[in-house]
Amino acid sequence: MRIQRALIFSALLMTLAGCLQKVPAGNVGVMVDLYGSSKGVQAQELGVGRYWIGYNQELYLFPTFTQTYTWTEAATEGRAHESITFQSLEGLAINTDVGVTYHVVPDKVSLLFQKYRRTLEEITDTYIHNMIRDAFVEEASHLPIETIYGKGKSALVNAVQDRVQAQVKEIGIVIEKVYLVNTLRLPPAVESAINAKAAASQMAEQRQNELAQSQAEAQKEIAAAQGIAQSKLIVADAEAKAIKLKGDALKDNPALIQWSAVDKWDGKMPQVSGGATPFINLQK
């Protein structure tokens, strides 16, 4: 009899212990009533702790810390074979691997569960994935392929992020970042054509820069030559003016020549015969 009571008591303890469930740190719990007049999602979120879960109830956990998901083509990365494909303005197919980081607002977890009735992982892989895919399809359909593949790629991703942020804001999901995991994948022929055009444009720009540099160097040399010529003209003009001033001075003062000769004479008479004219006018 005692053994039977002990077994019944142990079974009862195990049953009671099994009805206690834990909401760990970094999570919020949502209680769901399965049957009866009150069945459905309870409006109150459950914080960290242990809770009694009856046979008529289920507890769902939602992490509130930042989540990161990636959808990739490769089987070794992220959610394999879940990469996103969209089209450009010309209708060209583009495939890419996409990642998202987000977090859930704790006091809106019950609202989120009421809308989707799924776990957060299921919501992410189904609904958020589809929202991001549809946003890429919509935003890229207005852009030419060269814009998407080139300078407009960042603007495209930002537009997708803004669109998805607006969609999930009211249900308690905050999109922190939408980003490309790898490069865009285009049809090989299209990618080769774009790369060839980019290379040709880069080469033309390089030639233009070289021409501008040559012209700048030529202008520099011309400026230097003009400077030298101008300098010589200034010197020549100064010399000409000096000669003219000296000539005018001699013209106005003819005795200056005699005075200059006497000033430089050493006092010796020239040793010249044959009637040479003295360099000094002795009569005067």
In this predicted model, which residue has the larger pLDDT, 144 or 202? 144
Q: Could you tell me the two tokens for 271?
A: 């040793």
b (16+ CB within 10 A) / e for 226-242: eeeeeeeeeeeeeeeee
What does each C-alpha distance from 250 to 104, 168, 190 come to in angstroms? 106, 104, 89
- Residues 67-125: tens digit of each pLDDT: 999 999 887 766 667 899 999 998 889 999 999 999 999 989 988 988 888 889 999 99
Return the minimum-mean-pLDDT range out of 126-135, 239-248, 260-269.
Answer: 260-269
pLDDT band at 17, cuts 50/70/90?
Answer: very low
Q: How many percent of the chain have pLDDT more than 90?
A: 31
| Alpha helix positions (H), 19-152 | 109-116, 120-123, 129-140, 145-149
What does each C-alpha distance from 192 to 95, 186, 199 come to in angstroms? 16, 9, 10
Return the minimum-mean-pLDDT range out of 21-30, 61-70, 161-170, 197-206.
Answer: 197-206
Sorted by where each begins, the domain ranges of the chain are: 8-63, 67-186, 198-249
Q: Look at residue 149 in the predicted model and tell me its pLDDT.
A: 86
Q: Could you tell me the two tokens for 106?
A: 């704790």
Provide mean pLDDT across the span 125-130: 94
Please state the CATH superfamily assignment of the domain spanning residues 67-186 in this structure.
Band 7 domain (3.30.479.30)
Q: Look at residue 69 in the predicted model and tell me its pLDDT.
A: 94
pLDDT band at 155, cuts 50/70/90?
Answer: very high
Dihedral sign computed on CA atoms, order 9, 10, 11, 14: positive
Provide mean pLDDT across the span 252-279: 62
Return the minimum-mean-pLDDT range out of 10-24, 206-220, 240-254.
Answer: 10-24
Q: Look at residue 221 in the predicted model and tell me its pLDDT.
A: 81
Return the minimum-mean-pLDDT range out of 131-145, 170-184, 199-213, 237-251.
Answer: 199-213
Question: Checking phi first, is residue 102 left (phi over 0); if not, alpha (psi -120 to 50) or beta?
Answer: beta
